Amino acid sequence: MTTDLVNKAGTRHPVPTRAGDERFVPMAARIGAVAAEHAAEHDRDATFVRPAYEAMRTEGYLRLAVPAELGGLGATVRQVCHAQAELARHDGATALAIAMHQFNTLTLAYLRRHGAPGAEDTLRRVAGAGLVIATSGGSDWLWPETVAVPDGDGFRVSGRKVFCSQAPGASVVTTCAVVGEPGEGAEVIHFTVPLAAEGVRIEETWDTLGMRGTASHDLVLENVLVSGDSVEARRPWGEFGAPLMTAGAHFAPVVSAVYFGIAAAARDVAVAQAAGGSRGPSAMAGLSRVHRQIGLMDARLRVAWWALMGSLDELGDEYACDPPAVVTMMLAKREAVEAAVEVVNLAMDLAGGRSYFRRFPLERAYRDVRAGAFHPFTPEATLSYAGRVTLGDPGVSE
């Protein structure tokens, strides 16, 4: 997304940092340079951003959020957000794809701190064996229709999972299934299964408006054996319980940073265009309308970043993944996503008709940023959930 025009004009939007927050930003920028080189190709062909993942392996980005004592880089949630925002400036699809791995890694680190069995082993595999974690949580998280049939001390699972980002580059998928018939009173199991397991296959269905390089294909599970040891949690069907709250509280900030980064890069392109870049001052630079639009883009980006960082500060280091925490993080995500859409729209308006051409970076940003509205919680669902919790609802029902 970052162009020579932006670099020459020196018009990059500054991201406020606290000491240490920017530690992994240079790494993300190096990976982003690789991603940007291939981004148009992956967007055009809807192919997976594999060269960027190879760069991530080389740099160690896949073990970013693994605790240092387990062989990782020990990044905090704040540091992951800063890195993800930088990566998204270069290519939104790459940043969104790896966001699914990063939030799952942060979730595992949280679970390990709270004594969850198996979390440490998986984190060690991420750090040592390059394990990449995908998820199907955005498609059927509350009411899965994938069916688990008891088989000894385990289950046989069959069904289809959609929106499985980075499926071609993942090692395992963390997902869920209903035991028996879906419906009230049924039990849901949460488990992880290798993508190389017998009965698991990728069906290439990802042909979408934006985020095309994420390769978020369907995963088809046909009589897949899930051992009892692989079952990580259980909950009632339709309940927004501890497993989903824990995932959601870590998903929201990491994904928020992605959409912020896309919007910040779009803003940079538009501002550089208005400034004139290496050609000298542009006639646009003297227009009060242009001044206001730039000011509005900067205001929306600042407030979105304040919301994200402020939400993390509000939770603190010893946070609990409960309904108040989910409300805090989802409200920040709502602000980031809605601000990102508005900023990209403003950037296109400022850049004018050239932004309608596919070869101009704002066209892809326009399409990519709209994916943010579909991640759970959606912006409207966030407001409804926040209101319910405020009025005393426990926040665990459908």
Answer yes or no: is pLDDT of 139 > 80.
Answer: no
> pTM (2 decimals)?
0.95
CA distance 325 to 103: 15
Domain ranges of the chain: 4-132, 135-236, 242-390
* Alpha carbons 65 and 70: distance in angstroms, whole number: 10
pLDDT of residue 196: 97
Instruction: Give me the pLDDT at residue 13, please.
Output: 87
Above 80 in pLDDT, residue 365?
A: yes
CATH of 4-132, one of 1.20.1290.10, 1.10.540.10, 1.10.760.10, 3.10.105.10: 1.10.540.10
Lookup: tokens for 334:
């709502």
* Beta bridge pairs of residue 159: 221
CA distance 155 to 226: 5
Judged against a pLDDT cut of 90, whether residue 373 lies above it is answered with yes
- The pLDDT of residue 397: 77
Q: What's the average model confidence in pLDDT over 172-194?
A: 95
Nearest to 132 by CA among 164, 100, 92: 100
Could you say which DSSP state residue 166 is in? T
Alpha helices, DSSP H only, in the chain?
4-9, 25-45, 50-59, 77-90, 92-113, 119-129, 137-140, 242-275, 288-315, 323-351, 361-369, 379-390
Q: Could you give the percent of the chain with pLDDT greater than 90?
A: 87
Mean pLDDT score, 116-128: 96
Question: What is 135-236's CATH topology?
Answer: Butyryl-CoA Dehydrogenase, subunit A; domain 2 (2.40.110)
Residue 7 pLDDT level (bands cut at 50, 70, 90): low
Least confident of 13-22, 105-114, 215-224, 385-394: 13-22
How confident is the model at residue 276, as a pLDDT?
A: 81
Distances (CA, A) of 148 to 118, 141, 142: 21, 15, 15
Token duo for residue 159: 């069904």
353-361: long-range contacts, CB 8 A cutoff, minimum separation 24? 359/40, 361/1, 361/3, 361/265, 361/266, 361/269
In CATH terms, 242-390 corresponds, of 3.40.120.10, 3.20.20.140, 1.20.140.10, 3.30.450.20, to 1.20.140.10
